[in-house]
Amino acid sequence: MKKRLIQFLMALILISTIPFISSNKVSAAASNEIATYANKFYGTPYKFGGSTPAAFDCSGYIRYVYNNFNINLPRTSADQFRVGTSVSKADLQPGDLVFFANTYKKGISHTGIYLGNDEFISAKSRGVLKANLKTNPYWAPRYAGAKRVANFTSVPEPDTVKSAQLMSGKFKDLPLEHLAHDAIIALNEKNVVNGYLDSTFKPESSITRGHAAAMLNRVLKLESTTRVTFKDVSSDYAFLDDIAALNEAGILQGYTTGEFGVNDKLTRTHLAVIVNRAFELQEIMKNKTLVASTYDDVSTSHWASGAIHALKTLDQTEVFKTSRFDQGKEATRADFSAAIYTAISIN
């Protein structure tokens, strides 16, 4: 018995002398591979909502690179800043995520991938380019920190809304598998659509004409030249200027009764027509020489047929790629986001 105890203790001593391979060393090797892979896309053009090598936006580029290594990151820069392990600037390794604040909005608003020698790469308005963390006059003062996620394993596919929230890190009622998920997150990052104070987005809630006018004009940025009044829109209504601008532009006009219908719910047909007027989807189709997709419940003689079929043909989200359009159904916040995202992406 005593002999066996001695053998056991000697084995423990032997095990304790075996060198321990730290996770940092494993991460460093993966990080170099990430940096090399990220560099392959240098010069790729920028496109709002872009998430493929054809064109990237900021966070779309980051996610694409890391997805290649089975690392699943949130969609926005702000949410990406919440994962991984914080790293000081002095300890940066190639492949670490570097973050910047107060670029086009307050707070964390841009992500890049560190390449080494104070250099990082990211998708900017002029495409995927490199810059220096210390000497670049624009990026250096906006540097906000870094995270190491090379050993951050991907999260399993969600089977509940709760687990999806942990992955997306944004809205607790917006699962990652929702067809409009990426559209909503991208538009939220650009402050086109917003969630609620309880961290929900309410994707299946209907949308009013007043709110639609405001969201649309956050993209179009139109201004009215004349003051217009509607019986149902007070002079202190938050979106009065947006309503006036879209009415004057002929995109979303008031009724012959003198009302705007500010609280009226938007139908899917009206959504298609309004988005078509704002972004000329039918003209884009002509320029792309695309054959319009059809719906079982929308005939070619329908007054909004062109706008409806253009939306389905150009859809970038799969939300509208169904057999039926349900033209009289109320448009949801998810429908609206998918339509606007599509219009911005293809322009």
- How does pLDDT run across 233-287, given as a tens digit for each residue? 988 888 999 999 999 999 999 999 999 999 999 999 999 999 999 999 999 888 8
Mean pLDDT calculated for residue range 70-82: 84
Domain map of the chain by residue range? 24-148, 161-346
Max mean pLDDT range (27-36, 42-51, 271-280): 271-280
Give start and end residues of each alpha helix (H) in the chain.
2-16, 23-39, 58-67, 77-80, 161-168, 181-189, 209-220, 240-248, 268-279, 281-288, 305-314, 333-346
Residue 84 has pLDDT above 90, yes or no: no
Whole-number average pLDDT of the chain = 83
pTM: 0.59
Residue 31 has pLDDT above 90, yes or no: no
Whole-number percent of the chain with pLDDT over 70: 86
> What's 24-148's CATH class?
alpha beta
Question: What confidence score (pLDDT) does residue 171 get?
Answer: 86
Question: What confidence score (pLDDT) does residue 177 get?
Answer: 84
Range with the poorest average pLDDT among 156-170, 178-192, 304-318: 156-170
**262/228 Cα distance (integer angstroms):** 14
